[in-house]
Structure 1
Amino acid sequence: MRPMLATPSSTVPVGDLWSHEVKWDGMRVLADVSDGELRLFSRTERDVTVAFPELRGLAEEYADMLLDGEIVSLRGGVPSFGAMAERFHVTDVRRAAMLAEQAPVTLMTFDLLRLYGVELLSRTWSDRRATLERLELSSPRWQTPPTFTDGVTLHAATKEQGLEGIVSKRVDSVYVPGLRSPYWLKLPHRGTVSVVIGGWRPESTGTVRRRLGSVLVGVPGPDGLQFLGKVGSGLAGKTGQALLRDLETLTSAESPFATELPAEDSVGATWVQPVLVADVESLGLSSQGRLRQPAYKGLRADLAPDDLDVVDGHEDGG
């Protein structure tokens, strides 16, 4: 089963029909407890149980239940996506045990889909949530965070505290696996960063007229332009056409980036002189130093590459 997904929104819904939660920055999972064992499944239905041995004790809480939640790695009380990233693909039992000992994770549960063999998908969110809270799942390794009636205040508070954002849910909504539902809305806090464009890739090949698919961006580093990833969102229509015209006048034979780019980023790329600065919104940096979910906002005619701060390290995405 794939989890139900939230639809992006730019405004916080208000009124008694909506409840609001903190949006946790981690790994979405379905936690299935049955026959005395716990199994964890990712959004893509991959079994990731072996990666999180510290959550095994959840199977001792109740004999049968299916929970929806987010596994987070807390740093100073705030989830660190970068710290979680090294746990995503762990398949070795001994390495998983070592990581669990060094920096144990926490499962934030926010929905209950089955209890003692009874499917709860067709029940309203408010009914499912009330049942979940009655389970009183509370330990250092798993908990059920509170919900809030005032989404506007929660949105402001999570931004101030450095959290990822909020999720707003219709209290009368049922759970539809795999659906990106308009009854669940997500409002992440996206930061803006100024970057240098070092190359671009076409939307597709073999067409008469090339269209801009993505730009390759970076920021100044101690050894030159440090690659932060590719940005494709926000480049549709006239915005992309105008930027492509600017980029085609700056074509360069060599990559301006300090290190060789991965093949998945460099194949088909056209390099440009690193003189254009653009603003990009994102959810911060991953542990690999790549922008998370970036979106192009526009060129900064008032900035030159030398105006940007030199980066000497990577921050975890948040």
Structure 2
Amino acid sequence: MRPMLATLAEAVPRGPDWVHEIKWDGMRVLADVRGGGLTLTSRSGRDVTVSFPELVPLADLFDDMLLDGEVVSLVDGRPSFGALAERMHIGDARRAARAAVAHPVTFVVFDVVRLLGQDLAGQPWSARRALLEQLELDGPRVQVPPVHDDGEGLLAATAEQGLEGIVSKRRSSTYAPGRRSPDWLKLPHRDGISVVVGGWRPEVGGSRLGAVLVGLPGPTGWEFVGRVGSGLAGRAGAGLLARLRPLEVTGSPFVGEVPREDATGTTWVEPQVVIDVASLGRSSGGRLRQPSFQRVRTDLTATDLQETSDG
């Protein structure tokens, strides 16, 4: 199963039909408990159970349960994706156990989709939320955060506290696995966008990563939307380049012609690596304005971006 997804919104929905939650800057995870065992699955469908051994006690709570939430790494009480990134790809059980002691994560639960053999996806959010609160899941490594009626107030408070934003949910909404629904609306504070990398260029006079060429899905394929160089200095650039080198191909993956000033000196790659960039929006020609690299989205695939574009 894939998790239900929220649609990007421009304003907070008003009225009693809506409820509002904090948007956590973490890793979306489904926690599946069956017969004393726990499986943690990322949004892209990857099994990440071994990476987070401190969450294994979830398997002791109920014989059968499916929870939806975010794994977050809290630093001074606030989620830090940078700190979480160090945990997300640990595949060795002993190393993960050491990391769990040194830098433990917290599973922030916001939905229950199955319990004791009963599929709850067809139930309204209000019924699932009431059941979730009755489960008394709060513990050292698990939290069920509160919900709020005042969405605009919550949006202002999260901006003041430096949090990522809010998610607004229609109280009557059923759970639609793998679908991006207008019944869940996300309002992030950062003007960020997820894009796929289609090529890279070295820095002037060197061999280190200087910029990446990025695209978004269009009607006939990947459309070039700009060159991103800001934010790629040091370890960030080196880590991204290590991901791109095995993906090198002979031709551009973008539909249409990439401008010569961008294409010159570019090494093309298969469009597989997804990154987040911040920008000042897009120009009339569709180019990202003053984009800067934020992070690699290992929880997203190119297919996820295409599916988001489709609806």
| TM-score, normalised via structure 1 length | 0.68
1:56 aligns with 2:68: no
- Equivalent residue, structure 1, for 2:226: 214
SS in 2 for 1:97: helix
**Aligned counterparts of 1:227 and 1:91: Cα–Cα separation in 2:** 21
Q: CA deviation at 1:294?
A: 3.1
SS in 2 for 1:85: helix
**Aligned counterparts of 1:228 and 1:101: Cα–Cα separation in 2:** 25
Change (3 A) 1:121 1:219: closer
Letter in 2 for 1:126: S
1:294 aligns with 2:306: no
Q: How does 1:254-273 map to 2 (within 5 A)?
A: 266-268=266-268
Map Cα deviations across residues 137-167 of structure 1 (whole Å, 9 max, x no partner): 1111001000000000000101111111100
Map Cα deviations across residues 5-50 of structure 1 (whole Å, 9 max, x no partner): 0000110001000000001111111101111121111112211111
Change (3 A) 1:135 1:298: closer
- Equivalent residue, structure 1, for 2:85: 85
- Equivalent residue, structure 2, for 1:185: 185
Q: CA deviation at 1:136?
A: 1.1
Letter in 1 for 2:163: L
Change (3 A) 1:298 1:180: closer
**Aligned counterparts of 2:130 and 2:277: Cα–Cα separation in 1:** 33
Letter in 2 for 1:176: A
SS in 1 for 2:159: helix
Change (3 A) 1:15 1:43: same
How many residue pairs get matched?
245
SS in 1 for 2:230: strand
- Equivalent residue, structure 1, for 2:248: none
Q: Which runs of 5+ in 2 are unaligned?
A: 193-209, 217-222, 241-257, 284-292, 297-311
Q: How does 1:152-167 map to 2 (within 5 A)?
A: 152-167=152-167
Letter in 2 for 1:156: A
Change (3 A) 1:131 1:253: closer
Give yes or no for contact 2:191–2:279 (8 Å, CA) kept in 1: no
SS in 1 for 2:88: coil
SS in 1 for 2:133: helix
| TM-score, normalised via structure 2 length | 0.69
SS in 2 for 1:65: strand
Map Cα deviations across residues 97-141 of structure 1 (whole Å, 9 max, x no partner): 011010100000000011111110000000000000001111110
Give yes or no for contact 2:227–2:262 (8 Å, CA) kept in 1: no
**Aligned counterparts of 2:161 and 2:214: Cα–Cα separation in 1:** 39
**Aligned counterparts of 1:35 and 1:156: Cα–Cα separation in 2:** 43
- Equivalent residue, structure 2, for 1:25: 25
SS in 2 for 1:39: strand
SS in 1 for 2:163: coil
Give yes or no for contact 1:168–1:186 (8 Å, CA) kept in 2: yes
Q: CA deviation at 1:64?
A: 1.6
1:127 aligns with 2:111: no
**Aligned counterparts of 1:46 and 1:219: Cα–Cα separation in 2:** 28
Give yes or no for contact 2:26–2:71 (8 Å, CA) kept in 1: yes
Q: How does 1:32-111 map to 2 (within 5 A)?
A: 32-111=32-111
Change (3 A) 1:49 1:212: closer
Q: Which runs of 5+ in 1 are unaligned?
A: 193-197, 205-210, 230-243, 255-265, 270-289, 300-313
Structure of greater Rg: 1
**Aligned counterparts of 1:124 and 1:5: Cα–Cα separation in 2:** 16
Letter in 2 for 1:100: A
- Equivalent residue, structure 1, for 2:197: none
SS in 1 for 2:25: coil
Q: CA deviation at 1:292?
A: 2.5
